[in-house]
Structure 1
Amino acid sequence: MVGPLSQKLFAKAKTVIPGGVNSPVRAFKNVDGDPFFVRRAQGSRITDVDDKTYIDYIGTWGPAILGHSPIQLTQTIHEVAKDGVSFGAPCPWEIEMAQTIVDWVPSVQKVRMTNSGTEATMSAIRLARGFTGRDKVIKFDGCYHGHVDHLLVAAGSGALTHGEPDSAGVPKDFSNQTIVLPYNDFEAIQTVFDSIGDQVAAIILEPFPANAGFVFPREGYLEFLREITTKHGTVLIFDEVMTGFRVAKGGVQELVGVTPDLTCMGKVIGGGLPVGAFGGRADIMDCVAPIGPVYQAGTLSGNPLAMAAGLAQLKALEAADGYNQLEKTGARLEAGIRGLLKENGLDFTFHRVGSMFCLFFTGKEIWNVNDVNGADMEAFKRFFWALLDDGVYIAPSPYETGFISLAHSTGDIDDTLDAMSKAFKVI
């Protein structure tokens, strides 16, 4: 149960904001409760308006890889803001950010900044269609790519969380151009390409789906997608808005050695400010206006605050040997959770790569969203509230991923495991 001031604020919010929130998962509907309201965030912890502090494993849904309000970001934002918060004209930080992305991400030769991950995926799809002259797009059930009309079809994340796997307001003609297939199904992909391979402009996927829990590809699956798209002249798009700069400097594509044609990015590269980006092969990216026929624009794209903050975060992450540190912290959490599961005789499934993790309340192997749907949702709810009452904040939905930051200490991990030990006994 959240505190009285949060309850009062939520009641007021519902009178002026649809559902009382500006993003559906924040409403706590999937855990049958109401949300708390945050007053401040620092390091690994957030404090609500009722002055209760929590160890936070959401991290602004991924961007806070250094932790909340790191000095590198707050000082940078302060200094840059003194010279202006938005110019509507090019600024030097755009070039430095673009060069950093090109240097770090294997697939990217040129990049265009946007204001959100949704804008990035929307633009990448339009670009793929413009480049190929084709209309059809393949996506995977459980992979969420933002609230773009033609991609909000059998989507995961927020759509699943608020009980609407397909959104009202999406014209049928839009969704008819989107082919939705089960993730990790080789045969389904082969069947589509055998039938209409010359009509498919793009495959878009989260290479490690992170909006239906945290799901891994079967051995050879990403390689298979790379091979079949190359054969048919289809653009392969990795949506690494969540995994990019999180699981490795170069994202999943660096880890697995599979290079897509286009990559969508966001979150970490903005340091917590609104940001997105899409980039890839130069010949495809050169189809974007003003030098190509595919139109894309944004008043605040590449704004100085987001670019400078994102650069400060990436530099601090690299200087701190951040990915090795995150792996060590993640390994400590994983070992502790697996030990607790064994101790309590619980046959649950745990997935982790680096600083991203998810606990599925089922002993079944998890390969796609259908497997996730088979988990014990009631057990998750009891687990969530037990942790929250004990000062540990995980995502209020079994369809979301947990995030560790550099600010999480060994003490934080140990306190989290203590809370989990008690929570496992009440599920």
Structure 2
Amino acid sequence: MIESSRRNFLTATGSLGLAAATPMTGARAQAANTIRIGVLTDMSGPFRDISGPTSVVATRTAVQDFGNRGFNVEVLVADHQNRPDVGVSLVRQWIDRDGVDVVVDVPSSGVALAVNSVMRERNKVYLNSTAATVELTGGQCSPNTIHWTYDTWMLARSTGGALVRAGGQSWFFITADYAFGHSLENQTMEFVRSAGGRVVGSVRHPFPGTTDYSSFLLQAQASRAQIVGISNAGVDAINAIKQAGEFGLMRRGQRVAGLLVFVNDVNSMGLQIAGGSVCTETFYWDLNDRTRAVSQRIVANGTPGGNRPSMGHAGCYSATLHYLKAVADMGVANAKASGVDVINRMKAMPTDDDAFGAGTIRPDGRKLHPAYLFQVKTPQESRGAWDFYTLLQTTPAEEAFRPMAQGNCALVRT
């Protein structure tokens, strides 16, 4: 699926059709003064609710909030089907045929790392919001990439560390068998062990397509681990946690920890299942007046079923808005000429928006903002729809993410 939309949300047209309908000189002038944003996402797979259509709406809301600053903005949309080859093909087509200047979102770490290489090769801007692999600011860091919203180190430190401190000394992991799952499992294991806990076992499930977690849950049950770490995301996390409840792991004294759980996942599971668990996000729609305001604007622009934005969606909004500010600062012609120059301008400018508040971007491409440890409310505690979280702990921006010196990023080696 590929879609293109104008700034005002009211018309949708393919970029080729737009060019054909305009005189050649006018088309060239318009193209030269038009920034094209490609939202590469999961429109129909396991990450649809935590990225997908709501990421598209969040990106368009950022364009709307940016306003008219003397240049045009178009938003294109494509579904990468959680396949790196499909993602690479779509991005090459966007750049070569459609003149896309920046790619946003990109759930699935395997796809994200593949796209990362293409954007560097073509000197375009890549703003990743929904993939979690720390490699984007580590061994595969790029001068063309900013990793915006969260990563596995942050998740492991906040959720894993908190559970060990709360008495969860023994762990068993059920992990999605791809780059993101491996990274999240490994990072959490490191925090568990450094805090004095121990890992008693782990098992990996195929990705995508696993719907029956019974054999994996039986192994977790037999391990007698105090904490069963669910190292996957999206529909996989929902199914695994739901089935853990059906198997009675919690009734038998084991605690199930979703290591990457979004507010949209909690909505799908329901508070009866998710209530009492803990999770980490860098954004919550009901955190403060600014997050409530931006969430209201995003939902008003047409999220499916009134879906509230998660941290991934907020990252698409925030990254797009900061990118457009950088383009306005340096000029469209300069921005289109070099993705590296745009990234450098974005790093030099402090960030500030309704989703994350004030922040900065490190030389390795890591966007910094606080991380929040939440406890999911029980049905009795919730006041209504989407009232899901109680804030337990805030990790300051400068402590929330892996120290730059530990990342082995070539951009900051001395």
- TM-score, normalization by structure 1: 0.32
Q: If the length of structure 2 is used for normalisation, what is the TM-score?
A: 0.33
Greater relative CO, 1 or 2 (CA 8 Å, sep 6+): 1
Per residue, is there more strand in 1 or in 2? Answer: 2
